[in-house]
């Protein structure tokens, strides 16, 4: 009798707990959306702002190096925290992961080199392109990531995704035609900005982002290392390669003026955003599905455009609106889940197997290495 009396109460409590958990997850989803939008839009707008301010310009190469150093230090603190402050276990883990497994570490030299190049190119692109134009054009990284995924990982794309990629390319092309026309009209433009240079920089950045992201995903497959350890390994190479780039490009000027020349509080804000933004997103995306991430990217384009109008006097016309609209729609379409086709028992079995494989990756701490087709791996390491 007592057991029967407990049943309904226990069932009711379980239902209420499930409802509470559902409410918490819903709030976390919307909080994740806000974080993603703010991080996507603020980084581009803030870089554009500090690079167009009058006065002494900071060295972009030194900013990239500083962001890498901060990222490595943050990941080391997180790993130490995971080891409950046990310094001995912490050092043993680092020695084993970085030195003993040196071949595994060396594999990350390639994506690290590309990410360092990409981070430098972002500064070049945003310094020479309006923030809204960069934000729209930079979505080509979805196209390059998709193509490299098909070529290197043998992934298949749905018909809707292929259509979205065509729309994405068309939208970016319309924006570029519109901006090119605007450049011809205002031939007496600022001598410090070069539109062609900015466009080349953003296209190369998109290509490097796509390749590095897919390469990094390929490395992570079957790996038990956490995303924090991978970021430490990437950051070590990133810092070394960044210093090499700094010496090659700005060596004489840095020697004369100093590594932190031109570092204002606003510049430090940009560096912290670049260093911690990607790590923050790596945590946040666990609560957001692909549709939400697609919506966040689309909304951040709108935020960047509206803010550019007020901050930089950016003029929005019909062609830009059409192009940006196509890009926003394409990003959302690409992030839609694929339709599951139950044509045979074998396909059903492969679906179950893939799901189990994805769950095992998540339990190993690799973040969204398999389920995250929309956001490339670069989001975890930038």
User: What is the pTM for the complete model shown?
Assistant: 0.70
Alpha carbon 283 to chain centroid, angstroms: 12
Euclidean distance between CA atoms 375 and 7, whole angstroms: 45
What pLDDT does 172 receive? Answer: 87
Q: Are 298 and 380 in contact (CB under 8 A)?
A: no
DSSP characters for 323-340? Answer: HHHHHHHHHHHHTSPPPP
R_g over Cα of the chain? 23
Positions in the chain whose pLDDT score sits under 50? 1-6, 187-189, 341-382
Helix, coil or strand: residue 371: coil
- How deeply is 249 buried, as exposed, middle or buried, from its count of CB atoms within 10 A (0-12, 13-18, 19+)? middle
Within 10 angstroms of residue 1's Cβ, the number of other Cβ atoms is 5
Q: What does each C-alpha distance from 171 to 151, 327, 367 come to in angstroms? A: 24, 5, 31
Helix, coil or strand: residue 221: coil
Residues 6+ apart with CB under 8 A from 368: 285, 286, 362, 375
Alpha carbon 32 to chain centroid, angstroms: 14
């Amino acid at each position: 009798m007592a057991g029967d009396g407990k049943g309904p109460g226990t069932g009711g409590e379980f239902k209420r707990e499930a409802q509470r958990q559902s409410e918490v997850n819903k709030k976390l989803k919307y909080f994740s959306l806000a974080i993603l939008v703010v991080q996507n839009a603020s980084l581009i707008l803030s870089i554009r702002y500090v690079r167009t301010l009058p006065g002494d310009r900071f060295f972009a190469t030194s900013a990239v190096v500083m962001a890498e150093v901060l990222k490595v230090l943050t990941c080391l603190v997180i790993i130490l925290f995971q080891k409950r402050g046990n310094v001995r276990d912490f050092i043993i883990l680092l020695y084993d992961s970085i030195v003993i497994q040196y071949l595994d570490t060396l594999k990350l030299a390639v994506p690290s080199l590309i990410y360092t190049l990409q981070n430098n190119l972002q500064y070049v692109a945003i310094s020479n392109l309006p923030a809204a134009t960069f934000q729209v054009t930079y979505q080509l990284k979805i196209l390059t990531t998709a193509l490299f995924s098909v070529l290197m990982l043998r992934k298949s794309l749905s018909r809707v995704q292929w259509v979205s990629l065509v729309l994405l390319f068309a939208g970016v092309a319309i924006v570029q035609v519109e901006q090119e026309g605007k450049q011809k009209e205002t031939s007496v433009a600022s001598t410090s900005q070069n539109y062609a240079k900015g466009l080349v920089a953003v296209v190369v950045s998109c290509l490097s982002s796509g390749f590095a992201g897919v390469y990094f995903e390929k490395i992570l497959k079957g790996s038990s290392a956490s995303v924090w350890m991978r970021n430490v390994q990437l950051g070590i190479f990133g810092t070394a390669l960044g210093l090499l780039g700094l010496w090659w490009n700005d060596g004489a000027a840095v020697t004369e003026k100093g590594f932190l020349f031109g570092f204002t509080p606003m510049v430090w804000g940009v560096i912290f955003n670049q260093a911690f933004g990607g790590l923050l997103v790596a945590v946040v995306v666990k609560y957001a599905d692909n549709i939400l991430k697609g919506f966040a990217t689309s909304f951040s384009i709108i935020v960047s455009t509206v803010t550019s109008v007020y901050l930089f006097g950016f003029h929005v016309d019909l062609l830009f609106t059409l192009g940006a609209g196509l890009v926003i729609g394409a990003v959302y379409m690409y992030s839609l889940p694929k339709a599951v086709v139950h044509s045979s028992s074998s396909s059903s079995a492969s679906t179950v197997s893939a799901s189990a494989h994805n769950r095992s990756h998540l339990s190993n701490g690799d973040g969204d290495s398999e389920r995250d087709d929309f956001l490339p791996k670069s989001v975890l390491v930038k």
